[in-house]
Amino acid sequence: MPDYGLPLQFGAFITPTNSPPQAAVARAQLVEQLGYDLVTFQDHPYQPTFHDTWTLMTWVAASTERIHIAPNVLNLPLRPPAVVARAAASLDLLSDGRFDLGLGAGGFWDAIESMGGRRLTPGQGVDALSEAIDIIRGIWNAGERGGLRMPGEYYSVAGAKRGPAPAHDIPIWIGALKPRMLRLTGEKADGWLPSLAYLAPGEFAAGNRAIDDAATTVGRDPREIRRLVNIGGSFGRPGGFLNGPPSQWIDELLPYVIEDGVGTFILASDDSSTLQQFAEDVMPGLREAVDSARAASGVTAIVPRRTSAIALRRDGIDYDNIPTSLATTAVEPGDLGFHRVKSTYMRGGSPGLVLRPTTTAQVVDALAFARLQPVPLAIRSAGHGISGRSTNDGGIVIDLGAMNAIEVIDQISRRVRLEPGARWMDVAAALEPHGWALSSGDYGGVGVGGLATAGGIGWLAREHGLTIDHLRAATIVLADGSVVRASEEENPDLFWAIRGAGANFGIVVSFEFEVDEVGTVGWAQLAFDANDTAGFLERWGATVESAPRDVTSFVILAPPRGGQLIATVMAMVDSADPDTIIQRLQPFAEIAPLLDQSVQLATYAQVMANAQGGDHNGQGDPMMRSGLLDHITPEFAESAARFITRGETFFFQIRSVGGAVSDVASDATAYGHRSANFSVAAVGSHPQSFEAGWASLYEHYSGLYLSFETDQHPDRLQDAFPPQTLERLRALKARFDPDNVFRDNFNIRESEAH
């Protein structure tokens, strides 16, 4: 029987005694200190001298830091599998991926029955275990939609909620001895966990054969199934198998690795000196012996990927040649964590590979690899793209989420360095102690990378301008893999282009901003009766335009409900003085009947702390349109009112820009429509009526903001960029990205063809 080549691991098998209560925990801590990989506990829930194994494992997990923990093996008949699944996932999450699951079909049936469990024959026990494995894996499969339904003979679930997904791909090891259990192990398990004491000579090899045959029959690679074995012995005078000096142990265990493919030895002992001697004198020696034997026979240690995962790979991606620097963090469709990275906040996706670099060098590697694959390429920072498609179908995503550093580089000039994966709420929180803020957007979950390459229309826009107006330098990985710095002095053309059209030019891996002094602000949310919708919009627009620059306001309208159309106005007043705040808000309060109001003193960071963490699970494609507007004229207000009241849009928002945004010359950055006082965005769900309604507003706009636009028609580029800006961008695109590598987000090059 071959050596399966799995990395060698060592575990301990500790009696879960409850007398004294902490004894097993202390042994587990010792085993961790001694360098074991795994600590395991038998599970006999009917045994009054033992702790309940789950409770003990939880305590051990909380009392250790590194070691993996597993039941050896779990008594399934007394534990419903759906509950086992959730308990295992919880423990795995709490212990940061340190829980592994040994499962047994049962035994000791009198005792099990005495505790209310169901007595099963050995054959029934195997079938029950098989059903249980399906249920456990089904619950862990949090990415699958819909409840879990499995009507089994022994275990049934009827629409059980899935999740949580464990922190790591919890392996299921089966304590199998008899042929049907061995077959099940080959068909479904990730490991075989017998006790050597129960196996007659030659039975290990026979067991391996049975498992391998079963695995091969169902199309699995036998190497997916780790061979673990419980062993026992002593370090006294020579006296039989594993009774003698460490050198004898090494000699006797080596053939189990080389000939029988054992990957994990689990020493059953509660004796600290035995545990210590095994750790000090057997583990390193056996590792060395295995390394030399493997070197001599040409076997390399591997961690095989599940056959079922390989089957989910997408065409056109050379999975075997993912750069080494990225291989361990890359996620592909068969990986447990895939559901966490496949979609974005707004969009559903099913990429073939998500690469997750943590350094600029890794971004270069990721890009070089991606360029060789004939599939779509998406760049993701924090995954809140509305226009940007930071996920795709069958392509590669370069996910910069782990590059999220925020650091102050110069206190005097208020210079900060931000990495693309940082979220704006975290940036705001980090700047607050310095009395600083950087105008970003209205939602704290949005990422630096997407927003700061497009514009950044936020709560301080009228006073401090767009986010890109604060950019002083950036580091960019270009399409050819070179890493360049761009600023007014270095690569000024590129610096100009990435402030509004960044997505077309490279991957920005670092941004340097000059931030503003911003202390306590006034933060208002006002609800109005806006049944006179056109009049309301006109008055709100005029009030904004005549307000001092320290006021920035947004308004949201939705179709009428119960005969009433409510408008929500939000405003940030950059002042800590309540009188000034009230003075600034008074004109707003007079534009229509006020239904509700909330005005608070807050910090910018408190206003931005409005997003949760967690995974993105967007579905479908959003439909959003954007327009930049110089003034809210009566004609625009009338058309907008019709659009809203007819229900052609379910979310209609106008943000104030103007002020400091308009101070910047229109040719100073790629974001060029600087005359606008307002940015309008609408979201729809019925394409025909939405498009028709939006078309009635189109003539009023002077441009659009790409971050709020989803229409991929090439004409949108003409709307987004003034003609000379677009011409310059096209020339620069040809220079910096001649092969059109960055093409997934309003492709400047592609539009030329239309």
Ligand X SMILES: Cc1cc2nc3c(=O)[nH]c(=O)nc-3n(C[C@H](O)[C@H](O)[C@H](O)COP(=O)(O)OP(=O)(O)OC[C@H]3O[C@@H](n4cnc5c(N)ncnc54)[C@H](O)[C@@H]3O)c2cc1C
Residue 503: CB partners within 8 Å, gap ≥ 6?
A: 379, 388, 450, 453, 454, 742, 744, 745, 746
Q: How far is CA 544 from CA 497, 522, 568, 676, in A?
A: 30, 16, 14, 13
467-506 mask for ligand X (x: CB under 6 A)? Answer: -----------------------------------xx---
Mode of pairing for the β-strands spanning 594-603 and 624-629 = unpaired
Q: By CB under 6 A, is residue 524 in contact with ligand X?
A: no
Q: Binding residue for ligand X (CB under 6 A) from 166, 261, 376, 420? A: 420
104, 125, 191, 447: residue in contact with ligand X (rule CB under 6 A): 447
CB distance 692 to 625 below 8 Å: no
Interaction of residue 453 with ligand X, rule CB under 6 A: yes
Among 44, 79, 188, 384, which residue sits at the site for ligand X (rule: CB under 6 A)? 384
Q: Does 456 bind ligand X (CB under 6 A)?
A: yes
| Member of 112, 386, 473, 670 binding ligand X (CB under 6 A) | 386
Q: Which stretch binds ligand X (CB under 6 A): 59-67, 183-191, 353-361, 452-460?
A: 452-460
- State the number of binding residues for ligand X (CB under 6 A): 37
The 8-class DSSP code of residue 561 comes to B
CB of 633 to ligand X, least distance (A): 24
Sign of CA dihedral 720, 723, 729, 734: positive
Residues 6+ apart with CB under 8 A from 169: 335, 336
Residue 651, classified by CB atoms within 10 Å of its CB into exposed (0-12), middle (13-18) or buried (19+), is middle
At 546 the three-state DSSP class reads helix
Burial class (CB in 10 A: 0-12, 13-18, 19+), 732: buried
Cα of first residue to Cα of last residue in the chain, in angstroms, is 63
CB of 391 to ligand X, least distance (A): 8
Nearest distance, CB of residue 508 and ligand X, angstroms:
4
Interface residue with ligand X among 344, 491, 533, 669 (CB under 6 A) is: 344
Q: Is 451 in the site for ligand X (CB under 6 A)?
A: yes
Report the residue number, 378 or 592, with the smaller CB distance to ligand X: 378
Pick the binder of ligand X from 388, 541, 684, 703 (CB under 6 A).
388
- Residue 362 found at the interface with ligand X (CB under 6 A): no
Kindly state the smallest distance separating residue 509's Cβ from ligand X, in Å.
Answer: 7
What type of residue sits at position 442? D
Report residue 715 as tokens. 């004409």
Q: Could you say whether residue 395 binds ligand X (CB under 6 A)? A: no
DSSP 405-431: -EEEEETTTTEEEE-TT-BHHHHHHHH
**Can residue 357 be called a binding residue for ligand X (CB under 6 A)?**
no
Span 659-718, contacts to ligand X by CB under 6 A: 707
Residues within window 25-54 making contact with ligand X, judged by CB under 6 A: none
Six-digit token string for 115:
């505790």
**Spatial separation of the C-alpha atoms in residues 62 and 139, rounded to whole Å:** 24
The single-letter code of the amino acid at 52 is D
CA distance 526 to 584: 13
Asked whether position 443 contacts ligand X by CB under 6 A, the answer is yes
The only residue of 345, 540, 604, 643 in contact with ligand X, by rule CB under 6 A: 345
Nearest to ligand X of 379, 670 (CB atom):
379
| CA Rg value for the chain | 32
Q: Which is nearer to ligand X, 490 or 590 (CB)?
A: 490
Q: Are strands 377-380 and 353-355 parallel, antiparallel or unpaired?
A: unpaired
What's the min distance (Å) between Cβ of 618 and ligand X?
A: 9
Nearest distance in Å: CB 738, ligand X: 18
Per CB under 6 A, contacts with ligand X among 734-753 are 745
Q: To the nearest 10°, report the CA torsion of 649, 607, 525, 641.
A: -20
Based on the shown chain and the rule CB under 6 A, indicate whether residue 389 belongs to the binding site for ligand X: yes
The Cα 573–Cα 592 span in angstroms is: 20
For ligand X, which stretch binds (CB under 6 A), given 170-178, 342-350, 575-583, 669-677? 342-350
Q: Does 382 bind ligand X (CB under 6 A)?
A: yes
441 binds ligand X (CB under 6 A): yes
Using the rule CB under 6 A, is 455 a contact of ligand X?
Answer: yes
Q: Does position 454 bind ligand X by CB under 6 A?
A: yes
Question: Residue 449 interacts with ligand X (CB under 6 A)?
Answer: yes
Residue 235 or residue 345: which is nearer to ligand X going by CB? 345
State the CB neighbour count (10 A cutoff) for residue 42.
21
CB of 684 to ligand X, least distance (A): 16
CB of 680 closer than 8 Å to CB of 643:
no
Q: Is the dihedral of CA 399, 404, 409, 415 positive or negative?
A: positive
Binding site for ligand X (CB under 6 A): 344-346, 378-386, 388-390, 400, 420, 441-443, 446-447, 449-451, 453-458, 502-503, 507-508, 707, 745
